[in-house]
Structure 1
C-alpha cells in the first residue's frame, strides 16, 4: 500500500493529516515573496512540518485509505499499523524514512526525530500553475558606458536636413478645432432642450399621479398578516475539531463533556462523506481567529485539536 500517496492527497485539502501511532504532518501557508538582489519570485505555498507527539487516530487517513483501496475501515487501520511498524524499525536503527513528495525523517545524536520537508510539491491549490522565477538584473549603466566608449572611437556627426514648409497644416488644424467646437456647442444646446422638455413632462405626470392618490380611498377587507423575515445565518467556515465519531450517541456525549469543560460553543457538524460525526470545540468566521484558538486549546486542553475548513 502506497501510504505516501494517500497522505499527499489529503494534504491538498486538510491542514493536518495524522498517521496513527507515528505522528502528524502539518501544513502552514506562506505568502508569496521576493528575495535576493536578482529578484527571485516565490509563489504562495503550503509548507509541510511534522509533529511526532500527535499520534491518536482521528479517522481521517484510515477512512481515506479504506475508500481508495476498497477495503474495510478495520483492515485499513491494520495496513497503516504495518507501515508505522516498518518506519519505526528503520528509525530505531538510525535509518532514514523517505515519504515521497513530503519529506525525510531521520534520527539525530540524541535519538530525536528530525523532519526535512521535500519542498518539491506545493499543496496550496490556490497557487496551482504558479512557479518560482528569477528576474534578471537591469544593466542600464553598463550599456551607457559602452555607448560612450563607442562614441569616443567613432564620433557621430549629424547632417542637417532641409526643412519642409508645413505651414498649411497649422491652418487645417485651426479649422478642425473650430469645427469640433461648433459641433460640441450645438450638441450641448440640443441636449439641454431635450432635458427641459423631459422635466416638464415628468412634472405633469407626477402632479396627475398625486391628484389620483389624494382622491383614492383604500379599503383592506382581509389584511395580510405580517411576515417575519429570517436573517441569514452568519457563515462560520473554520471549525476546530475535537474528534470524529461513527455513533451519533458518542458524538453527543463528547459535546456534553466539552460543554462541561467550558466550551459552550461545542457542537456537532453534519455527517461527512466518511459516515463520521465531527464534534468541534467551536466554529469561527476567520482563519486567524481559528488558529489562535487552536493554539490555546492545544496548550490547555487537547494537543490533538485540528482545523477543518469548509
Structure 2
C-alpha cells in the first residue's frame, strides 16, 4: 500500500500530516517572486516540507481506514509498516523516496527533504501561472533626423487637468450613489416601521385605541352638537267643494259674501320630525366582539347596565354604560362613573345607523 498518496490527499485539505516514527509533512506557503534565470514572475504557491519532529496525530490512519474500508487497527499497521520501511532505507542508503511528495535524505543526524516538482499540492492562488517578463525591442534609429512638431505647454496642462477632473467626478459619483441608496432604504424602512408600530398599538393597546376613538370627529366629541332647526311652512287650507250637494241660493247672504251652506274640508300636511340623536356613555372601544362582551360582563358585575351599542357608526364595538335623553343627566352620571368605575368613560352623541 502506497501511503504517500494518502498523505498527499490529506495535505490538500489540512496544514500538516504526521507519520509515526519518522516526522511530519507540512504545507508551506511560498510568496511570489521573480526568477532571474528564466526572466519570469512566479505567483504565490504552496510547497511540501518535512520536519523530523513528531506532532500530534493528524488522522492519517482514520483517513486510510475510511478510503480502503479497513478497520482502524489495520490502517495503523500499514502506516507503521510504511514508516519502518522508510527508516530502514535511510539507515542503509541514506535516501528514501515518498511518492509523489519528494525525497528524504539523511545527512549525519539530520533529515532533509527535497519536494517533487511534479506534485501539485493545489491552492495556487486562483490558478495563476508564471509570467514571462516583457522586454521592449529597440529598433534601429532612422538615418534622417525627425524634427518633432512644437507642442504648446498650455495645451498639455489643460489636457492633464481635464483628465484629472473627469476622474474626480467619476469617483465622486461612484461614492455618492451608494450613499443615496442607503439613505433611501433607511427612510423607507423607518416609514414602514412606524406604520407597523401604529397598527400594533391600535389593535393591542386598549388605552391607545380609546384615545384615538375619542379624537374621531364623528362621535368622539363630548360638546353638544347644535342641530339646525328645520322649519316647515304650514300649507294653506285647500277648499274642496262637495259635488254631491247642490248649492242653493240663499235669500239672506252673510256679510262676507260666502254661502253658509257650503262645506269646507281643509287638508293639512303633518310636519316631518327631526332625526333622533342618542346620548350614550361609552366605556371602551374594541376591535373584536369577544373583547367587548368580556368588558360588558365586567361592567355588569359592577352594577352598570352595560351593552354593546350595535347601532353606533364605525367598525369598532363600543360598549355603552348608560343611555340618556338629555345632556345634563348624562353629564352627571358620567361624573359619577369616572370617579367610581371607569376613569376613561366619555359621552357620545350620534345618529343611529340604519339596520337592514
* Fold shared, TM-score > 0.5 on shorter chain: no
TM-score by length of 2: 0.39
TM-score by length of 1: 0.44
Which structure has greater helix proportion?
1
